[in-house]
Amino acid sequence: MEQAYEEIKEYSQKAKESFPFFIKHIFPLSFKKTQFSRAPHTWNWAERIQKNKRTATLSARKHLKSTTIYAYMMWLIFKLVSNEKESWLYMSYNQKMSTYHTENIKILIQSNPFFSGIKDLTHGSTQIDYTWGKGDRFRCMPSGILTFNRGWHGDGVICDDILADPTNELNFTVIDKINRTFREQVMSLPKEGGRIHLVGTAQHQQDLFFQLKDNTGWDWAEYRAITNEANKMVLWPELFSYERLMEIRDIEVGEKAFKKEYMCSPIWSEEAYFQREELMSVVDPNLEESKVSASTYKSRQTLIYAGYDIGKKTHPSHFTVFKLFKGHWTQLYEIFMDGWDYTKQIELINGLVEFFLIDVINYDDTRSELESFRERRIINPRIWNPVVFKISTKFDMASNFSRLVNKKNITLLNRQRMIDSILSVSNELKAPESILGHGDAFWGVALALYSKVPYKPYIAV
């Protein structure tokens, strides 16, 4: 009997020290055997969460994102020591969803024999407030991302689908608001050294998951339902075999919804003109903006083209320069001109004409903003080529841009704002208004690449 007690004590201690061990051996006891399937991918998630104070986990629908967080909350409670006190916030898109999650956690605690000695200090079904009766206490409050108490400061924050149900498209303004709220307020909620763990499904290339992807302060990971299409490998074979996933895709939800919900493709990106992987295949992370005058490298076989998408008051102008040599387009320069008046924009571009020896500037002349500059000969009509944005012209430009990308006849600078701006444009060649603009870089680049009649190059002397 004493030996059995010591074994249980050792087993329990190991679970307190290791979240992966807890999720493998203790957490499953909250479920009936008929309800539970082994999920080895969550063991990896558990290791990441334990080792890192900030994690962002993007994964497929029904693949235990929230359930792993339930296990994490239970583990934090399970390993409490005497007089230790922890306070957490469980945050979802709205209060209703966050209380749904905290209620589920309480049900799992009540069902687990390893928690039989714990005391619930609340009388409600959604507030988490537990003690083992040794001066310790663990509290977790549910909250919505836009309704939480700004004055709260605790040990950690869980952000579980704060961008709402992935089947519902959010207004881009709301996504911007959630992004700002997260950066400016949620990040400051934990005490110094506290933790934040984000799980969910991405809505758009501008949402938190993609903003955090290259942030070295976060452990970021994406888990798609199908990990290798060619080899029919899947993330959770114990429950979702490749054949079952194909059934979901082909019979139950359709390919479009499957890509969004099971393959981690953001809600709007499936309607995007370019997919992220497609565009990124022509982005060179080692390509640097040209810092030398074109007079040092330009030859008679080289053309320098520029594109100028003229912005309105609500979004910026975008200007970019490309070198065309032996059929390949290489981006030399790009800039967003936020809030610049036209005089300042033209002054900069005229300076760049001399520096890059630009042969042609294709610019948006739909609203004739530069008419007065033409009349005063401030812009050179031999170089500045007006393009009126008719429907047919826009699709011609977009098609040409797409052709060059598909054939890998173009190399782009690694500029995140430009990339995100290009990706925001839909198949209908529309883009949402956002703090980044209105798809301006898509048209700046498309203009630079657009030419109905081959242009005869010249060398400035």
Higher pLDDT, 172 or 322: 322
The model's confidence at residue 1, banded by pLDDT at 50, 70 and 90, is low
Q: What's the whole-number mean pLDDT along residues 250-263?
A: 81
**Whole-angstrom distance, CA of residue 383 vs CA of residue 400:** 21
Q: Delimit the domains of the chain by residue range.
A: 2-271, 279-449
Higher pLDDT, 91 or 174: 91
Residue 168 has pLDDT above 80, yes or no: no
What is the structure's pLDDT at 140?
96
What is the structure's pLDDT at 123?
76
| Residue 111 in tokens | 């069902």
- The torsion region of residue 251 among left (phi > 0), alpha (psi -120 to 50) and beta comes to alpha
The closest of 458, 107, 197 to 304, measured between CA atoms, is 458
What is the structure's pLDDT at 420?
79
Q: What's the whole-number mean pLDDT along residues 242-255?
A: 89
**Whole-angstrom distance, CA of residue 406 vs CA of residue 136:** 60
Average pLDDT, the chain: 88
At residue 218, φ and ψ (nearest 5 deg) are: -125, 145
- Topology of domain 279-449, CATH: Nucleotidyltransferase; domain 5 (3.30.420)
**Whole-angstrom distance, CA of residue 81 vs CA of residue 203:** 40
The model's confidence at residue 3, banded by pLDDT at 50, 70 and 90, is low
pLDDT digits (tens, 9 = 90+) for 396-438: 899 899 999 999 999 999 988 898 789 878 888 887 665 556 7
**Whole-angstrom distance, CA of residue 297 vs CA of residue 461:** 14
Higher pLDDT, 349 or 94: 349
* Strands 317-325 and 328-337, bridge-based pairing: antiparallel
Higher pLDDT, 80 or 420: 80
The model's confidence at residue 211, banded by pLDDT at 50, 70 and 90, is confident
pLDDT digits (tens, 9 = 90+) for 354-374: 999 999 999 999 888 899 999
pTM of the model: 0.65
Within this chain, domains 2-271 and 279-449 share the same CATH topology = no
The model's confidence at residue 110, banded by pLDDT at 50, 70 and 90, is very high
DSSP string, 203-217: -STTSHHHHHTT-TT
What is the structure's pLDDT at 166?
44
- The separation between CA 391 and the C-alpha centre of its own chain, rounded to angstroms, equals 31
| Residue 324 in tokens | 């065309």
Which 8-state DSSP code applies to residue 320? E
Q: Please say whether the beta carbons of 400 and 392 come within 8 A.
A: no
Q: Which of 27-31, 203-207, 223-227 has the lowest mean pLDDT?
A: 203-207
**Whole-angstrom distance, CA of residue 142 vs CA of residue 96:** 9
The model's confidence at residue 164, banded by pLDDT at 50, 70 and 90, is low
What is the structure's pLDDT at 437?
62
The model's confidence at residue 63, banded by pLDDT at 50, 70 and 90, is very high
**Whole-angstrom distance, CA of residue 204 vs CA of residue 266:** 5
CA-angle at 378, arms to 374 and 380, nearest 5°: 75
Which CATH superfamily includes the segment(s) 2-271? P-loop containing nucleotide triphosphate hydrolases (3.40.50.300)
Q: What's the whole-number mean pLDDT along residues 43-54?
A: 96
What is the structure's pLDDT at 432?
65
The model's confidence at residue 169, banded by pLDDT at 50, 70 and 90, is low
Instruction: For the chain, give the percent of residues with pLDDT over 90.
Output: 59
What sections of 282-413 are H helices per DSSP? 342-356, 371-375, 391-406
Q: Please say whether the beta carbons of 305 and 451 come within 8 A.
A: yes
What is the structure's pLDDT at 429?
86
What is the structure's pLDDT at 191?
93
DSSP string, 122-165: -SSSS-EEEE-SSS-EEEEEEEETTTS-TT--EEEEEEESTT--
User: What is the enclosing helix (H) or strand (E) of 386?
Assistant: strand 384-387
Burial of 326 (0-12, 13-18, 19+ CB in 10 A): exposed
Residue 456 has pLDDT above 50, yes or no: no
**Whole-angstrom distance, CA of residue 17 vs CA of residue 14:** 5
What is the structure's pLDDT at 313?
63
What is the structure's pLDDT at 205?
63
Q: Please say whether the beta carbons of 131 and 119 come within 8 A.
A: yes
What is the structure's pLDDT at 435?
53
pLDDT digits (tens, 9 = 90+) for 439-448: 899 999 999 9
Map tokens 């579980």 to a residue: 160
**Whole-angstrom distance, CA of residue 166 vs CA of residue 173:** 16
Beta strands in 264-316 (DSSP E): 302-309
